[in-house]
Amino acid sequence: MRKGLTLIELLVLITILPIVMLVLSRIFATFLRDIPREARLMEQNVPLRDMTRNLALDVDRAEGLPDSAGSLHADEFTLLIELPEGVACYQWQDGAVTRTLRPDNGQEDSVVERSWEFPDAVVQWQRRWRNERACAVELRTRLRHRVEGKMVEKLANSHVYFVNALGKAREIR
């Protein structure tokens, strides 16, 4: 019966152990760094998807996409959607999108209905034109974060929503 290790067994162990430790350290680094970062991105993607869904519903019910409503003007940070109950205004500012509704009763007071915060997101909308009339909204979204000193963009999406698209599809049937 043998007690202990031989010199050759110890040398093999000393050679293999650093390789195993290197592999394990990369696995632990993934668990400690990458997984929490990706979880934060997913948490920010939830309100971004919610805002996208809300915008799609508004554009589907829209009667038009006006250039202005009172003191508000449509641009890359402001999207105006004419609805039966008034004008919905989506404004992108300081890492948040706010939806306000300007009632159709001629008053200047807007009511803030929803606000979505996603500080690491980029939201861009652009109205699409046909026959000199805005008929669709193109929405581009993505999340940005820093990885090893570089800015990386993930979860990039592009959507096009047509004004009253489902209503016109129902009329055709």
Predicted confidence at residue 139, as pLDDT, reads 93
pLDDT at 166: 53
Q: Along the chain (173 residues), what's the average pLDDT of each consecutive run of 10 residues?
A: 78 91 88 82 87 93 90 91 92 92 70 86 91 90 84 87 65 38
Q: What is the pLDDT of residue 131?
A: 87
CA nearest to 44, candidates 145, 161, 114, 112: 145
The reply to whether 3 falls in a domain is: no
**φ, ψ of residue 81 in degrees (nearest 5):** -130, 120
Task: Return the pLDDT at 32.
Answer: 83
The pLDDT of residue 173: 37
Whether 76 is covered by a domain: the verdict is yes
pTM of the model: 0.73
Of 105, 109, 73, the residue nearest 86 (C-alpha): 105
In a domain, 81, yes or no: yes
In a domain, 1, yes or no: no
Please tell me the predicted confidence (pLDDT) of residue 106.
56
**Number of folded domains in the chain?**
1
The residue type at 134: A
> Closest Cα to residue 128, out of 117, 118, 137?
137
Return the pLDDT at 125: 93
114 part of a folded domain? yes
The per-residue pLDDT for 79 is 95
Q: Which domain holds residue 55?
A: 8-172
121: burial class by Cβ within 10 Å (0-12, 13-18, 19+)? buried
The reply to whether 25 falls in a domain is: yes
Strands (DSSP E) contained in 35-149 are 68-69, 72-73, 78-83, 86-93, 96-103, 111-117, 121-130, 133-147
